[in-house]
Chain A
Amino acid sequence: MSMKPNFEEQIKAFVSVLAIFLLLMLVLFGGLFYFNNRKPKINFEEIPVEANKEDYDKVENGIHLATGFIDDEGMQATIQNCTACHSAKLVTQNRMSREGWKAAIVWMQETQNLWDLGVNEELILNYLSKNYAPTDKGRRQNLEVAEWYELN
């Protein structure tokens, strides 16, 4: 007897449950979608970091700008192994023969906690002795004047 109204009620109840369920799904997936795609604050900080990485690799006129090293085969290994403790400037201002660079490495290993360079040693020695080799300066060089100026 009461089949019909009961069926209607059942449909109503089913529809409302379905509606609530859909709503919850919407909130849940919408929320998940939002949180997944929302740019966390840190991303904004990463942008300049990414830019710095590009800056860090920048080479101009054959010079690696961030370190001042001459861009050549073996430079990355040199940066990784030689600038952890001291400045790249300590390397780039010096000029030595292959034996001289080798002796400097051995001295640092014996007294300054430098690690074993492994397969990189050959690469680093080739790089340094090619790009930072001594030139004959004689007993006294000509004076170099950066800028002539009028003295009153």
Chain B
Amino acid sequence: MAGILGTEVVFGHKMPQNYFPVGLQDPDPFKLFNKDKEMVVLNDKPWNMEAKAHLLNDDITPNKYMFIRNNGKIPENIDVSTWALTIDGESVKNPKTYTLDELKQRFTKHTYQLTLECGGNGRSEFNPPAKGNQWTVGAVSCAEWTGVRLRDVLEDVGINPDAVYIGYHAADTHLSGDPRKEPISRGVPIAKAMQNETLLAFSMNGEDIPLAHGFPLRLVCGGWPASTSGKWLTRISVRNKVHDGEKMGGSSYRVPCETVAPGTKVDDENMCIIESMPVKSLITFPKSGALIKNGQTLQINGHAWAGELEVSKMEYSIDFGSTWHNCSLKESSNRLAWQHFKASISFPKKGYYEVWARATDSQGQSQPMVLPSWNPKGYLNNACHRIAVKMV
């Protein structure tokens, strides 16, 4: 409980087990979720909140700067002592249920830094505009997640060779209040589910997962749209077909299989599920709008990531993309973690500049300078990040 609230609950031991303190019902979202006041609330029913580029400067994103993307209502009355995860579906030999304690005790724990980016990060730039939360650049994080491998648990349950996909089910509730409806139930192909880094996580940055991020158990699939990382996890179904849960179909987290002109209406059967997120980067220092003195060098730094791939090159431009210069780029601390870059920039004379950042992945794909391929819901905007600087 202290982990969620970020403070000790005095007399907390006298609180009934399934009681959630009034503090968690606070209408101030910054206090409620322990977020920095500079975070931007996009939506309060359901809660959606994003960071600004300069808030994401830490190598490992702390909770206070981590974006929130919720589809339904956060579950109430969470009782850790009775929390359980059921593995079922067409492709399990026999369904099996584990308590949270059993998961922690029976399987080896692993810790990874994992980049989670909302599929709709950058949606606000699309033209014609796309429906949904108008994310700018801040729906991305890279925290340190600890848990057990989904693979280890699936192997313990025993799955059939016809397994195609896993789909998660969770304790959050539908906005309409209809108990038969799930707000979201997505998943990943079995190959992604079996990766070393795909975790059933119970802690984030060394503490209990904060409530808004999936306490007490979350599926974490780094490098893929963050909607595949189901929060408040109660059940995983091993499917013999592509999972057909809520927000797996229609235009949800899907883009046209073949590129279309901006504004085109695309039929459902011509839409394909987003898998790995594309190459992208953010300048996290300095904050856009820096005034620097004539002759002063500017140190920039930030992060770059490429979904399932690595970032192999990081460049910056101060002349609107006419010339590019290399940044120094670190290797990731583990696969699927973002990489850190920095550069020292000299400007030739006084004036207005934009610093543009461009990452290239291990398959030679670079970030575009303008908006990438338009799609009906405005996903996958990986256009280069820009900050404004004036030398005065």
Contact = CB atoms under 8 A, between A and B. Distances in A.
Interface of A: 83, 85-87, 89-90, 93-97, 100, 104, 107, 112-113, 134, 136-141, 143, 145-151
A147 B289 contact: yes
A136 B127 contact: yes
A150 B125 contact: no
Given A86-B46, A87-B45, A90-B133, A151 B291 contact: yes
A146 B288 CA distance: 9
A95 B46 CA distance: 19
Contacts, number: 82
B129 A134 contact: yes
B346 interface: no
B9 interface: no
Nearest to B132: A94
Which size bracket describes the interface of B in this complex? 35 or more
Main secondary structure of the interface of B (DSSP, over half): loop
B291 A89 contact: no
Contact of A139 (B45, B181, B287, B371): B371
A141 B45 contact: no
Contacts of B62: none
A53 to B, nearest CB: 19
Contacts of A139: 127, 370-371
B369 interface: yes
Instruction: Tell which of A138, A147, A151 has the most Cβ of chain B within 10 Å.
Output: A151
B127 A89 contact: no
A89 to B, nearest CB: 5
B28 interface: no
A140 B44 contact: no
Contact of A151 (B125, B131, B290): B290
B134 interface: yes
Contact of A140 (B45, B287, B383, B387): B383
